[in-house]
Amino acid sequence: MTWNPLDSSQNIDRSIPNKTLPAWPVIAYQMNTCIFISNSSKSKIQAINSGQYISNPLSAVNTRDFAIAMGFSFERWCRKNERILARILNFGNVEYKAGPFFNRRLTSDIPGFQIDLMFIRKDSKIIVCEMKYFDGKVPFKNQKDVEDKIALFINHNPKYKNYTFEKALITTEGTQEPLKDREFFDYIITFDDIFNSAYWNR
């Protein structure tokens, strides 16, 4: 079982050296394109080098695998920029720890699970973040797995059983059924929030 905070203790008002808006989409696209090219067969690389795909570069990429890799890049970006997310969540001056939580499956009756990102606040509140990279609006699905993760987390960490738990969805363009998701998630963060300069120019 591993709790991996990004920082032992942080304050949301700490200044950010680089106050420019994030270039995540461009960086992630370039990075993942390089990954797929490097993992391609020699014949695919030769075809790329010969200019076969110059009119339609995406046709050289396995779009399903590319989307998966973009999802991982999105998660990494969110974890690295958790201070921005904390500002969007309006933490104010409350100190917190942040990071992903991993629990390996040890026995058949104790399932492994992962929490993409969580904030443990000093005021006895925990925000569990579910990250969903999606090309468009995320379809509404049964979110019971998030509740299950919280229950498993409390079971393995009983010292947090009296904390207040809230749930946040971090995604690209929101959800297909916002009313249903708003009933389940306390917060829904989209690119509109992430790229809002008000959260960066502080």
Instruction: Please indicate, yes or no, whether residues 156 and 91 belong to a single structural domain of this protein.
Output: yes
pTM, two decimals, is 0.69
More confident residue, 181 or 114: 114
Map residue 172 onto helix, strand or coil. coil
Mean predicted confidence (pLDDT) in 29-48: 59
Query: What are phi and psi for residue 74, nearest 5 degrees?
Result: -60, -45
197: in domain: yes
Q: Looking at the predicted structure, is the pLDDT value of residue 201 above 70?
A: yes
Instruction: Please indicate, yes or no, whether residues 111 and 92 belong to a single structural domain of this protein.
Output: yes
Q: Which is it for the CA torsion 105, 111, 117, 123, positive or negative?
A: negative
What is the extent of the structural domain holding 169? 1-13+82-202
What's the pLDDT band for 26 if we cut at 50, 70, 90? very low
Mean predicted confidence (pLDDT) in 155-159: 90
Instruction: Please indicate, yes or no, whether residues 8 and 99 belong to a single structural domain of this protein.
Output: yes
18: in domain: no
Instruction: Give the contacts of 5 (CB within 8 A, at least 6 positions apart).
Output: 97, 98, 99, 120
Mean predicted confidence (pLDDT) in 78-82: 91
More confident residue, 163 or 24: 163
Instruction: Return the number of other C-beta atoms located less than 10 Å from residue 95's C-beta.
Output: 13
Instruction: Please indicate, yes or no, whether residues 73 and 150 belong to a single structural domain of this protein.
Output: no
Q: Looking at the predicted structure, is the pLDDT value of residue 141 above 60?
A: yes
What is the rounded (10 degree) CA torsion for 83, 128, 186, 68?
80
Alpha carbon 75 to chain centroid, angstroms: 3
Q: Looking at the predicted structure, is the pLDDT value of residue 6 above 50?
A: no
More confident residue, 142 or 82: 82
Instruction: Please indicate, yes or no, whether residues 1 and 34 belong to a single structural domain of this protein.
Output: no
Q: Looking at the predicted structure, is the pLDDT value of residue 87 above 80?
A: yes
Which residue among 80, 97, 122 closes a domain?
Answer: 80
Mean predicted confidence (pLDDT) in 163-183: 81
pLDDT of residue 106: 58
Mean predicted confidence (pLDDT) in 85-105: 88
